[in-house]
Chain A
Amino acid sequence: MVRGSTMAASVRRNPNKIKQGSVAVDIVLYALALFICLITLYPFYLVVIMSISSPTEVAAMNVFWYPKGFFLDSYKLIVSDTKMWWAYSNTLIYVAAGTLLNCLTAVLGAYPLTVRTLKGRKWLVAFLLIPMYFGGGLIPSYLLVNKLGLYNTMFAVIIPGMVSIWNIILVRTFFTTIPDGLKESAFIDGASHLQLLFRVILPISKPILAVIAIYSVVGIWNSWFDALVYLPNEKLHPLQMYLYRVVVQQSVDLKMLSLEDTKNAVANMLSNIQLKYAIIVFTTLPVIFTYPFFQKYFIKGALLGSLKE
């Protein structure tokens, strides 16, 4: 209040002071911002126009500003590909299950760390930080997943990724900002820890849950490496793995092939050049559409992450 009134006073004293800088500077700044916007958006735009241009123009790299020729067969091909729909539904399952589990483990993991009476709390936090910075490596992780019987099942992707220490720390930080009075009054009313967590704390923690959920959704939607390692069965592949395969498939080293194999590889490469772009559009659109709606939470998430005491 005090700050506000002094500012108001200063504005009243000198009405011109609120005008910062000149118009010229504004124009330059706007131009700069516009330029940055353009170079950020251009790659997206390019992919979109490539995906609807005719394949020969795309192969000749002639498409820069607007689509040349009009060609939707790539989309037809994708839509009629049952494998793509398998991958789509798999991704939905991974995203839904992964997000839910991530939120659950983050909340359940974070709450005890905020309870002051928990002995060795600091040690626990320190212990949690270790796996955040050091991993076991690919082969040990593979062995673990294999011995647990998860290899080549959907769980191989869902379970190892369901706990995120980073998320636990984020949630813990948020929980510590909740006034102690609220918790104490719940206890006085006879609530247990679980009741306190689910009836009192969670309802006021929606912002942080939204942040974690979005991070998880985007993270899982874009992930493919776990699938590459743990899921040899293509029926279990997520969408990004499908995309990865199309992109990798075309970058064959032609020099390593004999005459007969070269024929096929060249044919494959040509038909894939344009198809690639259509698939990128198709796999990215859903996530792009969610961005505007959740943008404010992204910013919140970035701020929350800035404090980790």
Chain B
Amino acid sequence: MKKWKKPFVSAMMAMVLIASVTACNGGSNGSGADSKKEEAGGNPETGQKTGKLRLLGPAGSNKYIKFEDREKYPVWKEVDKMLTDAGLQLDYELVPAEQYKVTIQTRMASGSSLPDIVNISALDNTTVLNLAKQGVLLDLNPLIEKYSNGNIKKMYNEEMPFAKKSTTSPDGNMYWFSNLHKKTYQGNIPAPVSLTMLLRKDWLDKLNLPVPKTAEEYSQTLKAFREKDANGNGKQDEVLVYDPSAFNGAIAQWFGLGTDITAVDVENKKVVSPWYQDGIKDYFRYLQQLVKEGVLDTSLIGATGEQKQQKMTENQVASLTDYNLETYQEPTINGGGEFLPLMPLQAVDNITPAAQLEPPFLVWQKYAITKDCKDVEAAIKFFDTIYSEKYADLLYWGIEGQTYKKDANGAKVYINNVSEEELAKMGQATGRQLFGDTVFPRVQFANLEFELIDKPQHKIDNELNILNYKPYFVNMNDMYLAIPDDQQLEKKTKILTNLTTYSQELATKLALGQKSLDNWDQYISELKKLGLDDLIEINQQLLDRYNSIQ
């Protein structure tokens, strides 16, 4: 007993000593998880005074291209130079992304020792609006008027006019800046991509089947895949992966249905609900048929990504909803395969099938200035730097000749089509990979040209056909709704809790044939009781306000 006692005690003591020393180190690091200190003082070249800012945001989750290695990337040197030229001295506190939500929730709730600029995307709308009301977040409009050099306004009013609509609060103020994204084709045509049903092209070729042109043919094709054992493993296990509980699987749109309990019909400026739309009963009849024939895999309803991935890897997925331009599914199939994106298929005689699109204009994430910011002028300068074309270029495209070039028509395309691991070794990342979504908003002028470069022809054809396809619904309905006020938000939250559950259960049971379509009126009256009409009304108000903001 005694023999080990002394070494043990001294080892323990040593540990405690180490602990206290290391802990002190952590302390002196201050709040800086990743802080950068520079000599204080002005910028000798421009004669500007230096504005110091503390920024808090999540660290990027890229495994290879990391913000802490930023000095080795030429693109960072350019951005750093822009910031220095603007007379800014920045102190970054980047918290691991997986931890960020908890960190920002506790820190904002405690309201003490806040940074100057903070990424508050992880907070829900209610919390953000409350913080704004309490004065924790500053109204940006007067600050922009007073201090901006015009960059912010130019970006928000001219380049991305949709941005203002999504970020103006009901009180007319603006409390956060956002990531802004615009995708165009041939210079100025807005270029949405679509979410559609993908079908195994190699199986069609193997079994010599034509590409289905109607919903009925589609179902026949899936049946044929099973009966003729398309994957050749001797089992009838070729399935359709489809979640009938929501309406965001692309089959729903073939029947002219919206993409969620309430959906935005962008062209007609109307909020609709699939429950009230004409094709709804036919849609469920169609799903019932797919379930009955064993084509739709019911075990995957509500399954996790991992479970679906399992089917994919085992070469059993005949069809699923995904982006028309995706190329990430095929490499995960054991034995390989190829997916063909389908155009919207005619399902009912008098209904034109709709497409499901991802809008070409996106606004997301929130970056705010807090009440603790001492130098608001510097904070606005920071955002003036961000909302410049030069920054946007560095962020999305990187450096000309190194990460991108211009093709014959002048469209930008990436040069290095290699893995991120390689890019990290070469030091040739774009700004988006290196620092996007941290404390640096993403400003993106994307184009379709580069997306199409390495895609197979059948995917390119689909995309070019879908560009001007109408009618359509969008996958992100909230993108077209203005920020709700307190009452609207409260009412919406209250309605959605129960309505979503009921709607999902109902849709699933109808699809599985566990509930009969004969009792339709009863379901509708239950949906009404749970507030479906109120929800449509509120969202219509929000859509109207969205469209009225100039």
Contacts and interface: CB of A to CB of B under 8 A. Distances in A.
Interface string B295-314: 00000000011110110011
Contacts of A93: 15, 18-19, 22
A153 B310 contact: no
B112 interface: yes
Nearest to B11: A96
A149 B23 CA distance: 12
B19 A158 contact: yes
A158 B26 CA distance: 13
Contact of A56 (B99, B102, B113, B313): B313
B325 A268 contact: no
Chain B interface: which size bin?
Answer: 35 or more
Nearest to B56: A232
A259 B326 contact: yes
A138 B106 contact: yes
Contact of B328 (A56, A146, A262): A262
Interface stretch (A185-193, A242-250, A285-293): A242-250
B16 A96 contact: yes
A151 B31 CA distance: 8
Which of B32, B33, B358 gathers most chain A CB within 10 Å? B33
Nearest to A150: B27
B130 interface: no
Interface in B113-128: 113
Contact of A245 (B30, B98, B306, B323): B98
A228 to B, nearest CB: 5
Contacts of B98: 244-245, 248-249
Interface stretch (A7-15, A43-51, A66-74, A233-241): A233-241
A281 interface: no
B23 A153 contact: yes
Given A60-B314, A232-B93, A258-B358, A143 B26 contact: no
B103 A259 contact: no
B110 A153 contact: no
Nearest to B100: A232
Contact of B323 (A62, A259, A269, A273): A259
B106 A139 contact: yes
B525 interface: no
A263 B328 CA distance: 6
Contact of B26 (A60, A142, A236): A236
Nearest to B112: A146
Contacts of A94: 19
Contact of A59 (B22, B181, B309, B358): B309
Contacts of A283: none
B185 to A, nearest CB: 14
A6 interface: no
Q: Which of A97, A244, A249 neighbours the largest number of chain B CB atoms within 10 Å of its CB?
A: A97
A267 interface: yes
B102 A229 contact: yes
A260 to B, nearest CB: 8
A264 B26 contact: no
B26 A152 contact: yes
Contact of A266 (B102, B103, B328, B420): B328
Contacts of B313: 56, 59-60
A228 B33 contact: no
B309 A269 contact: yes
Contacts of B110: 139, 142-143, 146
B26 A235 contact: yes
A254 B310 CA distance: 16
A280 interface: no
A50 B32 CA distance: 38
Nearest to B324: A259
B334 interface: yes
A61 B310 contact: yes
Contact of A234 (B30, B32, B33): B33
B48 interface: no
Given A100-B12, A245-B98, A56 B106 contact: no
A122 interface: no
Contacts of B181: 258
A245 B325 contact: no
A199 to B, nearest CB: 15
A78 interface: no
A143 B326 contact: no
Contacts of A232: 31, 33, 93, 95-96, 99, 103
B97 interface: yes
Interface in B76-92: none
Interface in A258-309: 258-260, 262-264, 266-271, 273
A61 B113 CA distance: 47
Nearest to B110: A143
A92 interface: yes
A285 B458 CA distance: 50
B271 interface: no
A259 B332 contact: no
Contacts of B446: 260
B248 interface: yes
A60 B12 CA distance: 46
B193 interface: yes
B416 interface: no
Contacts of B329: 266
Contacts of A163: none
Contact of A158 (B23, B27, B93): B23
B334 A56 contact: yes
A241 B103 CA distance: 14
Contacts of A152: 26-27, 29-31, 33
B362 interface: yes
Interface of B: 12, 15-16, 18-19, 22-24, 26-27, 29-33, 59, 61-63, 93, 95-99, 102-103, 106, 109-110, 112-113, 181, 193, 248, 304-307, 309-310, 313-314, 323, 325-329, 332, 334, 358, 362, 420, 446, 451
23 contacts: A61-B310, A96-B16, A97-B16, A143-B110, A143-B112, A147-B112, A154-B23, A235-B26, A237-B96, A245-B98, A248-B98, A249-B97, A258-B362, A259-B323, A262-B323, A263-B328, A267-B328, A268-B63, A269-B305, A269-B306, A269-B309, A270-B309, A270-B332
9 pairs of A and B residues whose beta carbons are closest in the complex: A154-B23, A96-B15, A232-B95, A60-B313, A233-B33, A153-B27, A97-B19, A248-B98, A245-B98
Given A139-B110, A244-B98, 13 more contacts: A56-B334, A61-B306, A100-B12, A143-B112, A146-B113, A152-B26, A154-B23, A232-B95, A259-B326, A260-B446, A263-B328, A266-B329, A270-B309
Interface of A: 56, 59-62, 92-94, 96-97, 100, 138-139, 142-143, 146-147, 149, 151-155, 158, 228-229, 232-237, 241, 244-245, 248-249, 251, 254-255, 258-260, 262-264, 266-271, 273
